Structure 1
Amino acid sequence: MNKYGQAAILAVELIQSKLVDTPEAAWEKATIEIFGAGTSGQGKGCPRSTFLALCETGSVKGIAPGVYTNSKKNKGYAFRALELLEDELSLLNDSRVLWKKVLNGNEKKHNSQMDVVLALWNEGFIVN
C-alpha cells in the first residue's frame, strides 16, 4: 500500500476516534503526518478528491455524507472503481489494472486515486 492509501486509512481512523470532525480536516492531518506540512505529497489533489468523494456519499464507514469536494472527475473514477470491484475482486491486487478498467480504453496517468479506493476497500472501510 502506498502513502496515499495509508493517508486514507489514517484519515478514517482520525474521524472514527473523534480526533477531527470532518473528512477535510482528517485528510489534512493524515497527509501532514505522512508527508510533512506543505510538501508536494501533502498537497496532491487527486487522492484527496477521491477520498473526499467517497466520504461525500456515505461510502466510507463512520463518516456522515455531506458536501466535501467539487471534483467531478475523481468522484466518477472512485465510483466506477467501486462498481468494478464489486464484480471483479481480482482487481483488489493491482491499482494499475483497476485504473485501466476505470478509464475504459482512455489514456490518462494514474495519480493515486485507485490507491485510496483499494486501501479503504481492503481495510473494510467501504460501505457497499
Structure 2
Amino acid sequence: MNKYGQAAIKAVDLIESKHANTPEAAWEMATIEIFGEGTSGQSKGCPRSTFLALCETGKVKGIKSGVYISAKENKEYAVKALKLLVDNPSLSNDKKTLWNETKGGIKKSHNSQMDVVLALWNEGFIII
C-alpha cells in the first residue's frame, strides 16, 4: 500500500477515534503526519478528492454521507471503481486493470485515486 492508501486508512482511524470531526480534517491530519505539512505530497488533490468523494457517498465505514467536495471527475472515478470491485472483487489485486476499466479504456495516467480506493476496500472500510 502506498502513502496515499495509508493516509486514507489513517483518516478513517482518526474519524473513528474521534481525533478528527470531519473527513476533510482527518485527511489533512493524516497527510501532514505521513508527508509533512505543506509538502506537495500532503497537498496533492486527486487522492484527497477521491477519499472525500467516497466519504460523500456514505460508503466509508464510520463516516456519514455529506457534501465534502465539488470535484466531480474524481468522484465519478471512485464510484465507478467501487462498482467494478463489487462486481469483480479480483480487481482488488490489479490496480492497473481497475484503473483502465474505471476510465473505460481512455488513456490517462492515474494520480493515486486507485491507491485510496483499494486501500479502503482491502482494509474492509468500504460498506457494500
Q: TM-score normalized by structure 1?
A: 0.98
Gaps of 5+ in 1: none
Query: Which 4+ runs in 1 deviate beyond 6 A?
Result: none
Q: Deviations over 1:49-104 (max 9, x none)?
A: 00000001111010011110001000000000001001111110121111001011
Q: Number of residue pairs matched?
A: 128
Match of 1:83 in 2: 83
1:71 to 2:78 alignment = no
The equivalent residue for 1:53 is 53
Quote the residue 1:92 is aligned against: 92
Give the match for residue 101 of structure 1: 101
State the 1:32 CA deviation.
Answer: 0.3
Correspondences of 1:1-128 after superposition (within 5 Å): 1-128=1-128
Measured after TM superposition, the shift of residue 115 of structure 1 is 0.5
Alpha-carbon separation, structure 2, partners of 1:6 and 1:94:
18
- Cα distance between partner residues in 1 of 2:7 and 2:95: 16
Gapped regions of structure 2 (runs ≥ 5): none
2:110 aligned partner, one-letter code: H
Quote the sequence identity (%): 71
One-letter amino acid matched to 1:111: N
Q: Cα RMSD between the aligned structures?
A: 0.6
| TM-score normalised over the length of structure 2 | 0.98
